[in-house]
């Protein structure tokens, strides 16, 4: 544990400047070979949700949890100017998103704060909904509810011959059942127009809401 500013200054004393030109060129090549595309083929895709956030917010602090939703957020959100991103980067801890979003709202009460989280990560710290309520910290929670520990499932699918283990959340738990009792604005959404509506209303009313998306 250390003061981040102090620790980074000390680390900088040790770090040597590297020539990253070749590496950046290589990545640009990959990007040209496999450009990011918005998948809009069916239902509500994660990309469509990110696009809805892009469209509905001119300014916001967007906080992510850890998992596939985090990857999509970093790939598809338009960050910059008055839109800021707080994310835990590599080796992040599930459960980071909600408390970090509450902290951001308390620090910047007049800014929109959106927490993009997964059904796994959200369950780790969702008791903090009570903190958001008692501390008067209305945030929008965009829950990418795919019924899986998606990031780990993806590894099992691609690298472990589809031998799925302990990544399905559908039978054991439905995050909606837990959440409903706590927050009256929970909406389960399966159409993209609905999520836009919730984002819009949240922005204009200043009330916290959870947009629970059954995304694919």
Ligand X SMILES: Cc1ncc(C[n+]2csc(CCOP(=O)(O)OP(=O)(O)O)c2C)c(N)n1
Q: Is 23 exposed, middle or buried (0-12, 13-18, 19+ CB in 10 A)?
A: exposed
Secondary structure element (H or E) that encloses residue 117, with its range: strand 113-118
Q: Should residue 148 be labelled a site residue for ligand X when binding is judged by CB under 6 A?
A: yes
Compute how many residues bind ligand X; rule: CB under 6 A.
19
Closest to ligand X by CB, 113 or 149: 149
Query: Shortest gap between Cβ of 35 and Mg ion (angstroms)?
Result: 26
Question: Which listed range, 6-14, 75-83, 129-137, 145-153, lies at the site for ligand X (CB under 6 A)?
Answer: 145-153
Closest distance to ligand X from the beta carbon of 47 (Å): 13
For the chain, percent helix, then strand, then coil, each to nearest 5? 45, 15, 40
By beta carbon distance, the residue nearest ligand X is 118
Selection from Mg ion, ligand X, none that 212 binds (CB < 5 to 8 A by kind) is: none
Q: Which of the stretches 22-30, 101-109, 119-127, 130-138 binds ligand X when contact is defined by CB under 6 A? A: 119-127
Stretch that binds ligand X, among 19-27, 47-55, 76-84, 142-150 (CB under 6 A): 142-150
Q: In whole angstroms, what is the distance from residue 116 CA to residue 211 CA?
A: 10
Residue 114 Cα distances to 5, 91, 137, 169, 208, angstroms: 26, 22, 11, 24, 9
């Amino acid at each position: 544990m250390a003061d981040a500013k102090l620790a980074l200054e000390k680390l900088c004393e040790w770090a040597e400047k590297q020539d990253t030109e070749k590496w950046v060129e290589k990545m640009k090549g990959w990007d040209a070979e496999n450009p990011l595309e918005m998948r809009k083929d069916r239902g509500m895709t994660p990309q469509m949700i990110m696009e809805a956030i892009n469209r509905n917010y001119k300014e916001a602090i967007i906080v992510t949890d850890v998992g596939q939703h985090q990857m999509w957020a970093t790939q598809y959100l338009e960050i910059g100017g008055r839109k800021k991103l707080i994310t835990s980067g590599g080796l992040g801890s599930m459960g980071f998103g909600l408390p970090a979003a509450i902290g951001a709202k308390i620090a910047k009460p007049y800014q929109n704060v959106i927490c993009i989280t997964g059904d796994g990560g959200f369950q780790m710290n969702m008791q903090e909904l009570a903190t958001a309520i008692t501390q008067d910290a209305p945030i929008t929670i965009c829950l990418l509810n795919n019924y899986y520990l998606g990031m780990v499932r993806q590894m099992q699918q691609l690298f472990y011959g589809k031998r799925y283990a302990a990544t399905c959340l559908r039978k054991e738990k439905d995050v909606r059942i837990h959440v409903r009792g706590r927050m009256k604005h929970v909406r389960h959404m399966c159409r993209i127009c609905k999520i836009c509506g919730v984002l819009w209303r949240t922005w204009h009313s200043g009330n916290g809401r959870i947009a629970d998306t059954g995304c694919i």
